[in-house]
């Protein structure tokens, strides 16, 4: 690899010390490198990084920040066929493999092509009000459907491949990829799935029933979650959240249809540790 593009979360690298360290090291080794600060949101086709700014001959995109920054980059650059490598400047990351102390060894591996590329499954979600599409987006980690406003539970009606599955009151529902199984879903008791698997994980958040549990579905399945009525036939208000970023408002009767995306995120893998070993180390340090 010789041509790089850096996306930096300025909140995590306020003085741009790590960014400049990476840029200088690459330049000293005969590489070209452009830098983009991912600290301003935009409305439209992208939120943080304009995919049209990525040079066509870029070999690798280095994302400096944490898992959240990497998720944002993956969503913005979903149609850019360039692998991503996360450099973690936060506390703990499952996606961002490299930390501050291992930046130079990591860059050396990129320069000598000593790496593998993992492809990660993504999800798309389309929100309908009757037959009208009112919003849609893509997620690498998860799509969360939850309440908006007052602290009260919401009724959810769930369908798989248009067949009724169940209904329950809960704070929310998480529909996650294997990559997202170590995120929000894990924190509410969901199972961990190896990131190289192709599955869809559906996990309730604080359900008001003993019978609601996580469900793992094949990637071909299509999940529909409908926002139900309130306790006294009230009109409920909810939100569909994509990787904790894009929010699409929902009301009673609205439904979101979630399926596997055609696009996938390509992640650079530098170490040869198994997923089990990585998981053990992360959980030991958490």
Q: Are 74 and 65 in contact (CB under 8 A)?
A: no
Predicted confidence at residue 48, as pLDDT, reads 82
Predicted confidence at residue 85, as pLDDT, reads 95
Which position has the higher pLDDT, 211 or 52? 52
Which residue ranges form the domains of the chain, and what is each CATH number? 3-115+270-285 (3.40.50.10330), 122-263 (2.60.200.30)
Lowest mean pLDDT among 1-10, 88-97, 248-257: 88-97
**Residue 79 above 70 pLDDT?**
yes
**Per-residue model confidence as pLDDT tens digits over 16-66:** 999 999 999 999 999 999 888 876 665 556 778 888 889 989 999 999 998
Distances (CA, A) of 75 to 43, 194, 261, 264, 276: 14, 21, 11, 10, 26
**Residue 232 above 70 pLDDT?**
no
Which position has the higher pLDDT, 268 or 45? 268
Q: Name the residue among 264, 283, 282 with its Cα closest to residue 120.
A: 264
Predicted confidence at residue 50, as pLDDT, reads 86
The residues that are catalytic are 67
Mean pLDDT of 108-119: 93
Predicted confidence at residue 40, as pLDDT, reads 60
**Per-residue model confidence as pLDDT tens digits over 151-203:** 677 899 999 999 999 999 999 999 999 999 988 999 999 999 988 899 999 99
Output phi, psi for 186, to 5 deg. -65, -40
Predicted confidence at residue 36, as pLDDT, reads 84
Cα angle 77-65-194, degrees, rounded to a multiple of 5: 70
Which position has the higher pLDDT, 92 or 258? 258
Q: Are 205 and 170 in contact (CB under 8 A)?
A: yes
Instruction: Calculate helix-pair angle for 17-28, 103-111, nearest 10 degrees.
Output: 30
Predicted confidence at residue 44, as pLDDT, reads 59
């Amino acid at each position: 690899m010789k041509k790089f593009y850096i996306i930096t979360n300025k909140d995590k690298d306020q003085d741009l010390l790590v960014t400049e360290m990476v840029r200088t090291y690459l330049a000293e080794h005969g590489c070209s490198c452009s830098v983009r600060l991912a600290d301003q949101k935009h409305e439209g086709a992208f939120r943080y990084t304009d995919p049209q700014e990525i040079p066509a001959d870029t070999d690798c995109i280095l994302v400096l920040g944490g898992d959240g920054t990497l998720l944002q980059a993956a969503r913005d650059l979903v149609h850019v066929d360039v692998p991503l490598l996360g450099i973690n400047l936060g506390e703990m990351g499952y996606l961002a493999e490299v930390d501050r102390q291992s930046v130079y060894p990591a860059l050396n591996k990129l320069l000598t092509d000593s790496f593998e590329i993992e492809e990660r499954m993504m999800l798309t979600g389309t929100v309908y009000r009757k037959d009208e599409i009112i919003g849609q987006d893509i997620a690498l980690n998860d799509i969360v459907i939850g309440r908006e406003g007052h602290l009260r539970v919401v009724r959810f009606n769930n369908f798989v491949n248009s067949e009724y599955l169940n209904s329950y009151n809960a704070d929310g529902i998480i529909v996650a990829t294997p990559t997202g199984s170590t995120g929000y879903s894990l924190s509410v008791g969901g199972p961990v799935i190896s990131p190289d698997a192709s599955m869809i994980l559906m996990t309730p958040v604080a359900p008001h029933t003993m019978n609601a549990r996580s469900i793992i579905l094949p990637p071909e399945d299509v999940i529909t979650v409908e926002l139900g009525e309130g306790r006294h036939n009230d009109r409920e208000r909810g939100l569909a959240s994509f990787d904790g970023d894009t929010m699409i408002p929902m009301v009673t009767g609205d439904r979101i249809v979630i399926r596997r995306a055609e696009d996938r995120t390509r992640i650079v893998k530098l170490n040869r540790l198994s997923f089990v070993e990585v998981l053990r180390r992360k959980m030991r340090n958490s």
